[in-house]
A and B are shown apart, each in its own frame.
Chain A
Amino acid sequence: MARQERIGVFVCHCGNNIAGTVDVKRVVEELSHYPGVVHVEDYMYMCSDPGQELMRKAIQEKALTGVVNANCSPTLHQRTFRRLAEAEGLNPYRVEIANIREQCSWPHADDKETATRKAIAIIKATVEKLRLNMALTPTVTPLTKRALIIGAGVAGIQAALDIASGGYEVVLVEKDTCIGGHAMQLAGTFPNLEKPDSLMATRLAEVASHPLIKLYTYSEVEEVSGYVGNFDVKIQKKAGYIDKERCDACGLCLEKCPVVVSSEYDCGLSQRKAVRIPSSNTVPFHPVIDAEHCLHFNDGQCEVCREVCPEGAIDFSGEDTFVEEKVGVIVAAPGYDLLPVGQPEAYPEDPDIIDGLQFERILSATGPTNGEIRRPSDGMVPREVVFISCVGSRDPEHGVPYCSRVCCMYIAKQALLYRRAVPDGQVYIFYMDIRSDAKGFEEFVQSVMDEGGILYLRGEVSRMFRDGDKIKVWGVDTIIGRNIEISADLVVLARAMVPRPTTRELARRLNIASDEHGFLTEAHIKLRPVESLTSGIYLAGTAQWPRDLPDTIASAEAAASKVLSLFSREELLHEPTIASVGEEVCSGCELCVVNCAYKAIEIDKRSNVARVNEALCEGCGACAMICPSNAIQLKNSTPRQFFEIINVATG
């Protein structure tokens, strides 16, 4: 026999938002005769303290077994009222919201009669649903208090240090042979003109020696399974062929290696050997052999490095190895790339047309020219330098529609650093708008504009081409309305920041979303900016959106603080309104498995029925809709409940 329901209904006026359209008194009157409803009450603002007090009193005095709150959308106050109910000893899943604002009074503001009748129907339907609601308790899952961080650039390093300083272990995985990311390539910061590599040096050293940080360089995350609190991660450690224990970094192998390839660290402006160590301040300082280019791995002959190594550290028989780590959370910080050469196609390929990162290398003391400003083609000191902003950015036809956010500032910085190195040089900067919207930025740009020899031209460049030893740049100054031709020695393109091509694949492995450009997508752009939609996976840095150093660090700190707040709990609670399988009905057809976006369902091999992983299920209901035999149902959103709702709505 059904239990004797004692349901309370609380109708909110929401000032005039509801009561201005819905006849609240009539609603109260109608509901007071409804079966199972023992208490009906209306109030100006139910969410206010006095409003909540009314509900609290009614739960106690009338010994309510369920509550329907007729007010705004459940995204706003469902939590408020469920918490209140729980505090009063009523199971929170015995509280339902009837949305009579967004779905009733607002859209029907011009028709009071319809709105009132609809409000009554919505509330009655909700009462019917509530009648069949189970009293649920959240599922509890254990929590591994260890974090995996993918990418050891500025963002990954910051998050690692923050989490480790909170006392938790961090597994930091970096694809490259060393840590620090693009920041280590930069010549200076804006607006303070500090040296990023020396700013980073202490952090790199701290990461490398921190007892709670386990660093895997030259490694990639191969596979991720599990769920928040309990991820299993498989990491591929690429073979470096040089024994780290034996190698004392004497550099002999580097010196003798006969293979020469273009240097990634110097963005192609210098050459490196097949034995690789990016620069003198690399952390960790371990050379590796790049098997793709090494002669030994191509012709099987060359063994020069092995012969010269005094420590016998070279071992060509090394192989990629795999390690497994168990973590509770993941922070994804895989970083960015620049829009590749060849895009937009109007700009030709030429050694003296370079991108912003390449010019950072030329300006940098650790760069290919040891900090002397020399152009790539012939080594001459460029006297006329043209900068072009928004190359591919804000240009949906030829590149990407978004603003890359850092270019206006780094162009100003590079122009200033260039002028300090070449005092008689002339700089031209083509720009669309100057976007200098952070602390000290506008002042910095203005001070650069006031420098001699730096000319800002508002307009775009139509064509660039080599003419002898000059690059001809054709553009327009839209302020004076004239075409401009500049014979430049060097052209610097502020190419758009784009996600790394591998970020999409990483997103797939992590089962998190990426947007149309390939940037990782946050759970909510305003309210949950560093969480992914998969719980337990957080985002940091430029893989999410173009960011400068302070924004990157702030996002990494935010991600770390989300991790730390999760780690402050002993175990994880999970919403119980999830899918459950009627095992006697399930045929094991796997339709639910392939339709689950959260990979929360598996077929139990022994019994051949679907099993829902309670920690992974987000209660979206896709499985319940697709199941041909109705074997899967969402708790508290069952077909029977919907039939009752439809009965009221159509009755």
Chain B
Amino acid sequence: MDLSYYPGCTLKTKALNFEDSAIAAMAVLGVNLVELPRWNCCGTVYSMADDDLAHHIAPVRNLVRVAEQGSDRVVTLCSFCYNTLKRADLLMRNSQEKRDTINSFMDDEIDYDGQVEVVHLLEVLRDDVGWEAIGRTVKAPLEGLKVVPYYGCTLTRPQGVAIDSVENPTVLQDLMKVLGATALDFPLATECCGSFEIVSDPDAVVERAYAILGMAQRKGADAIVLSCPLCAHNLGQKQAEVADKYSDFTGMPLVYFTQLLALAVGVSPEVCRFDLSFGGVEALLRERGLIPQRV
């Protein structure tokens, strides 16, 4: 199965481990992620201002690119890209007036009126591939690995774009169970990591990071599983500061769900680029015997 794939900026820079592991794992599962030949910024943050239509042009142009490719579906990995693209698509579907304004502004493009369905890779795994097929493909179950799922905000909010239950999503837990890992109950799974406050109020992010990381540690997790490069950045970059400020915190590995998926279906650990992950993921996996000891 070929699927149009929109990477977004971070996956080509800081989150190479996210992209590489995803493409390799999906290939094992028989899904070919076909990167859009041309793509631009997703818009990063969905503008809530009613008259700020210019802000939606970036994501809509990306959807036009998908349509041009002859595809009616596009998959993203980054939760933020998913959120902005999906909400821009909904805006174009639901408001005729705004749709007309944006389409006539982009008179160099074909009209966009909701031809493309935006999905997140977790939805593809759950709904297209299916847990059962993934389970059959697993070669190296992640036995003994205790993880907590962390969705952040953009996968389940607002309600109209949620890939799962808004209050109690389970898709990450379900995936982890299929891969043989133990998914622990994590009450803060959909709490905010601090998001763009990292720019204006980094201290606030330290507090958010401590709340989430500390809870994961108290729950006895070996690692946090996530799907958002910004969450990974905030929870990763601030770990040293958190540990300085709160002595009970000793560090928490962060891993993208695609890295664990890839590992479990037999992709080589080198491709998963655990060296780019925060919090000592590589050491953890070695210790658990899930990747070979370094010679």
Contacts and interface: CB of A to CB of B under 8 A. Distances in A.
B187 A463 contact: yes
A483 to B, nearest CB: 12
Interface centre among B168, B187, B215, B218 (most CB of A within 10 A): B187
Contact of B165 (A345, A464, A467): A345
A464 B165 CA distance: 17
B188 interface: yes
Interface of B is mostly: loop
A346 B168 CA distance: 7
A468 B167 contact: no
Counting contact residues on chain A (CB < 8 A from B), the size range is 10 to 19
B187 A466 contact: yes
B167 A345 contact: yes
Interface string B181-198: 000010110010000000
A464 B168 CA distance: 12
Contacts of B215: 467
A468 B188 contact: no
Given A467-B215, A468-B218, A348 B165 contact: no
A348 B218 contact: no
A465 interface: yes
A485 to B, nearest CB: 10
Nearest to A463: B187
B218 A467 contact: yes
B294 to A, nearest CB: 37
Interface in A580-598: none
Chain A at the B interface: SS class: strand
Contacts of B188: 465
A463 B215 CA distance: 14
Contacts of B191: 463
Contacts of A344: 167
Contact of B167 (A346, A466, A467, A472): A346
Contacts of B165: 345
B187 A345 contact: no
Interface string B161-185: 0000101100000000000000001
Contacts of A464: 187
Nearest to A466: B187
Contacts of B167: 344-346
Nearest to A468: B218
B168 A465 contact: no
A463 B168 CA distance: 11
Contacts of A465: 187-188
Given A463-B187, A466-B187, A345 B218 contact: no
B160 to A, nearest CB: 13
Contacts of A472: 187
Contacts of A346: 167-168
Contacts of B185: 348
A463 B218 CA distance: 18
Contacts of B187: 348, 463-467, 472
Nearest to B190: A463
Contacts of A466: 187
Contacts of A348: 185, 187
Interface string B137-177: 00000000000000000000000000001011000000000
Contacts of B218: 467-468
A621 B164 CA distance: 49
Nearest to A348: B187
A301 to B, nearest CB: 38
A465 B168 CA distance: 12
B287 to A, nearest CB: 26
Nearest to A464: B187
A330 to B, nearest CB: 42
A425 B191 CA distance: 30
Contacts of B168: 345-346
Nearest to A346: B167
Interface string A451-473: 00000000000011111100010
Interface in B184-232: 185, 187-188, 191, 215, 218
Interface in A325-341: none
A467 B214 CA distance: 10
B49 to A, nearest CB: 24
Nearest to B168: A345
A477 to B, nearest CB: 19
Interface string B243-273: 0000000000000000000000000000000
A559 B198 CA distance: 65
B214 to A, nearest CB: 9
Interface string A584-619: 000000000000000000000000000000000000
Nearest to A472: B187
Nearest to B187: A465
Nearest to B215: A467
B56 to A, nearest CB: 27
A348 B215 CA distance: 16
Nearest to B191: A463
Contacts of A463: 187, 191
A456 B269 CA distance: 55
A463 B211 CA distance: 14
A348 B189 CA distance: 13
B191 to A, nearest CB: 8
A71 to B, nearest CB: 51
A164 to B, nearest CB: 50
A545 B53 CA distance: 48
A339 to B, nearest CB: 15
B223 to A, nearest CB: 20
A467 B215 CA distance: 8
B279 to A, nearest CB: 21
A250 to B, nearest CB: 47
A465 B187 CA distance: 6
Interface in A472-488: 472
A345 B187 CA distance: 12
A377 to B, nearest CB: 15
A345 B185 CA distance: 14
B88 to A, nearest CB: 25
A472 B165 CA distance: 22
Contacts of A345: 165, 167-168
B80 to A, nearest CB: 22
Interface in A420-466: 463-466
A233 to B, nearest CB: 45
A340 to B, nearest CB: 16
B218 to A, nearest CB: 7
A345 B191 CA distance: 16
Contacts of A468: 218
A466 B215 CA distance: 10
A335 to B, nearest CB: 30
A407 B77 CA distance: 46
Interface in B25-53: none
B201 to A, nearest CB: 16
Nearest to A342: B168
A346 B189 CA distance: 12
A196 to B, nearest CB: 35
A170 B60 CA distance: 72
Nearest to B189: A465
A344 B165 CA distance: 12
A341 to B, nearest CB: 13
A576 B168 CA distance: 59
A346 B167 CA distance: 5
A12 to B, nearest CB: 53
A347 B266 CA distance: 38
Nearest to A465: B187
Residue from A344, A345, A465, A472 having most chain B Cβ neighbours under 10 A:
A465
Given A345-B168, A466-B187, 5 more contacts: A345-B167, A346-B167, A348-B185, A463-B191, A467-B187
12 contacts: A344-B167, A345-B165, A345-B168, A346-B168, A348-B187, A464-B187, A465-B187, A465-B188, A466-B187, A467-B187, A467-B218, A472-B187
Interface of B: 165, 167-168, 185, 187-188, 191, 215, 218
Minimum-distance CB pairs A-B, first 4: A465-B187, A346-B167, A345-B167, A345-B168
